[in-house]
Amino acid sequence: MKPFDYVRPATVAEAVAAAAQPGASYLAAGTNLLDLMKGGVSRPDRLVDLTHLEGLDAIDRLADGGLRIGALVSNADLAHDAAFAKSYPAVAEALLSGASAQLRNAATVGGNLLQRTRCAYFYDTASRCNKREAGSGCDARGGENRTQAVLGWSANCIATHPSDFCVPLVALDAIVEIEGKNGRREIALDELHRLPGDTPERDSALEPGDLIVAVRLPPAARGFAAHARYLKVRERTSYAFAVVSAAAALRIENGKIYEARLALGGVAAKPWRARAAEDVLRGVAPTADAFQEVAWRALTDAKPSGDNAFKIELARRIVVRALTLAAAGTPARMPALPASPFASTSGAIHA
């Protein structure tokens, strides 16, 4: 392994200062970064270890009805926070559908947002990859690409963002609090991840030194608690990234949908909020026909980036199913197999 400096800052300000220089990288749980370092994909000169910073591991209910989640809260702690899961069931379900129990125990909220793509060509340092090395080319195009993006990709990059957690978060208009060289700012999660365009090497809107300190859910987000689901289709029952996933959240009043939220995972370089499709549902009854219309609208701009046309049809079906499940109501208990099409299988073994 390449030698690197290891810094353990005492404060957020120290952390930001330590990470602002080129070649520095933040380290939280390291569930992604350490693998990248072992594989030679990331070769930082300096690791700034955040795990000893105070005050970043709290879940706070805000006076305005929103919620603030510290960046160092672990995925498992957040998902198993009963009050959180009750208010934001689709987020908890997404968290529990990700990775494995061991990884969820370690992985953090901030780290989850900033995990890198799982594109095999990004990880294979002998391949050309514009995300890993700007301007080198993209071997995923024309390669083994059945799981790559169908939305928002460019000729330079067809990678997807692998997070489950971010999908319902972006549907619920989550906000990211960032500490940077010039102080604190906040942006919508939807603005955090970038589509590749001509600069796929830039995953996010963060500047050097920028540190995500919290994720905030606005007051309106809890309004969907009664009708919110995450659905994830994958190639084994657990410990697999989504082929395609969707988060659907509805506010239903008097048999009509008052407001709908929909986001897709595994289809683009960012969690894909389908705003135009959401509008289809405003003020209509939750019917199969309406959900079909949403599905078509959500995938209007989709096109295969390789041998992955099936993901477009699969995404449509997942949208319909996720909306159907959401309309049926959030289950009283977290399914044994969270987010799985087999969630309701009787006698299911826990993931």
Helix (H) or strand (E) holding 260: strand 256-265
Nearer to another protein, 205 or 348 (CB): 348
Residue 265 in 3-state DSSP?
strand
What is the C-alpha radius of gyration for the chain, rounded to an integer number of angstroms?
Answer: 20
Stretch that binds another protein, among 15-23, 62-70, 85-93, 142-150 (CB under 8 A): 142-150
Q: How far is the CB of 339 from another protein (least distance, A)?
A: 11
Member of 7, 14, 65, 143 binding another protein (CB under 8 A): 143
Strand order in the sheet with 46-49: 5-7, 46-49, 24-27
Q: What are phi and psi of 60, to 5 degrees?
A: -115, 130
Q: Which residue has the tokens 């000169």?
A: 45
> How far apart (Å, rounded) are the C-alpha atoms in residues 19 and 229?
37
Nearer to another protein, 228 or 351 (CB): 351
| 164 interacts with another protein by CB under 8 A | no
| 144 interacts with another protein by CB under 8 A | yes
Q: How far is the CB of 235 from another protein (least distance, A)?
A: 6
Ordered alpha helix ranges (H), the chain? 12-19, 33-38, 75-79, 82-87, 89-97, 101-106, 109-113, 120-123, 166-171, 189-192, 275-280, 288-298, 310-328
> How far apart (Å, rounded) are the C-alpha atoms in residues 208 and 180?
8
> How far apart (Å, rounded) are the C-alpha atoms in residues 290 and 252?
14
Member of 77, 93, 139, 164 binding another protein (CB under 8 A): 139
55 to 10, 68, 69, 169: CA distances (angstroms):
11, 12, 11, 22
| 142 interacts with another protein by CB under 8 A | yes
Q: How far is the CB of 108 from another protein (least distance, A)?
A: 19
Site pattern 304..323 for another protein (x: CB under 8 A): ------x--xx--xx-xx--
Site pattern 85..104 for another protein (x: CB under 8 A): ---------------x----
Q: How far is the CB of 134 from another protein (least distance, A)?
A: 20
> How far apart (Å, rounded) are the C-alpha atoms in residues 52 and 8?
7
Q: How far is the CB of 150 from another protein (least distance, A)?
A: 13
Residue 244 in 3-state DSSP?
strand
Q: How far is the CB of 293 from another protein (least distance, A)?
A: 17
Q: Which residue has the tokens 């087999």?
A: 342
Nearer to another protein, 142 or 255 (CB): 142
Q: How far is the CB of 5 from another protein (least distance, A)?
A: 15
Nearer to another protein, 43 or 282 (CB): 43
Q: Based on the number of CB atoms within 10 Å of its own CB, is 307 exposed (0-12), middle (13-18) or buried (19 or more)?
A: middle
Q: How far is the CB of 30 from another protein (least distance, A)?
A: 15
> How far apart (Å, rounded) are the C-alpha atoms in residues 107 and 25?
16
| 233 interacts with another protein by CB under 8 A | yes
Q: How far is the CB of 157 from another protein (least distance, A)?
A: 16
| 46 interacts with another protein by CB under 8 A | no
Quote the distance between the C-alpha of residue 270 and its chain's center: 8
Q: Could you say which residues in the range 117-136 bind another protein, by CB under 8 A?
A: 118, 120-121, 124-127
Member of 11, 23, 40, 208 binding another protein (CB under 8 A): 40
Member of 82, 253, 283, 346 binding another protein (CB under 8 A): 346
| 238 interacts with another protein by CB under 8 A | yes
What would the two tokens of residue 319 be?
């949208």
**Contact positions vs another protein (CB under 8 A):** 1-3, 40, 100, 118, 120-121, 124-127, 139, 142-144, 146, 233-240, 243, 310, 313-314, 317-318, 320-321, 337, 340-342, 344-346, 349-351
